[in-house]
Amino acid sequence: MTLQVRRIVTGHDANGKAVVATDERLTAVSRRIGANVTGCEMWSTDRMPVDNSEEAGAAQRAGFVKRYNYVGTGQGTTFRITEWAPGHARFTHRTETVDYAILLSGEIDLELENNEVVHLKPGDVVVQRGTTHTWVNRGSVPAVTAFILIDANPAEVNGQELRTIFPA
């Protein structure tokens, strides 16, 4: 079954009172990072502080991430839900972001470039700070993760900037 996520977005009426602006169901599409990895781009922003105007909402809803896995403007955010099928393709990458990853369902492994593996279960949280990593679902059911990515300066070690690694 294809992942579906309900997205409810609030706003304001003409009197400044809170309202539900949209209530919709999104269907996951290929994340274009390998076979059997799908997801929904929930929302993104391109600046801080965030523009909460009604006019900015359409672009934020559509998403600013068009080519890469990261926000890339230097001041933006991205929120996405990703489903990893058992045996999905590996996708080793690093982004210039701090990522909050929350495992919603299933189980998944976080693998780092030094071969360290951390097994995650539902409710586990990872704070990913610009390191090279991949996600691997060795289980028998899909794993579903929520990611909040926030633009960051590239990590720096011994004076060397650790820039984005994002295979085409």
Rounded mean pLDDT of the chain?
91
Q: Where are the domains of the chain?
A: 31-162
Q: What is the pLDDT of residue 112?
A: 98
In this predicted structure, what is the pLDDT of residue 33? 84
Check residue 72 and give its pLDDT: 55
Residue 21 has pLDDT above 80, yes or no: yes
Q: Considering the entire predicted model, what is its pTM?
A: 0.91
Between 50 and 121, where is the model more confident? 121
Range 31-162: architecture per CATH: Sandwich (2.60)
Residue type, 99: D
Higher-scoring residue by pLDDT: 78, 111: 111
Angle ∠(118,111,80) on CA atoms, nearest 5 = 90
Please indicate whether residue 65 or residue 125 has the higher confidence score (pLDDT): 125
Joined tokens for residue 36: 């059997």
pLDDT in tens, 23-80: 999 999 998 888 899 999 999 988 889 999 989 998 898 876 655 545 556 788 999 9
SS (H, E, C) 13-60: CCCCCEEEEEEEEEECEECCCCCCEEEEEEEEECCCCCCCCHHHHHHH
Q: What single string gives the DSSP state of each residue in 121-139?
A: -TT-EEEEES--EEEE--S
Q: Cα dihedral sign for 36, 106, 134, 44?
A: positive
Q: Is the pLDDT of residue 118 over 60?
A: yes
User: How remote is the C-alpha of 57 from its chain's centroid?
Assistant: 19
Q: How far apart are CA 162 and CA 157, in angstroms?
A: 7
pLDDT digits (tens, 9 = 90+) for 137-153: 999 999 999 999 998 88
Q: Which of 24-33, 64-73, 84-93, 96-105 has the lowest mean pLDDT?
A: 64-73
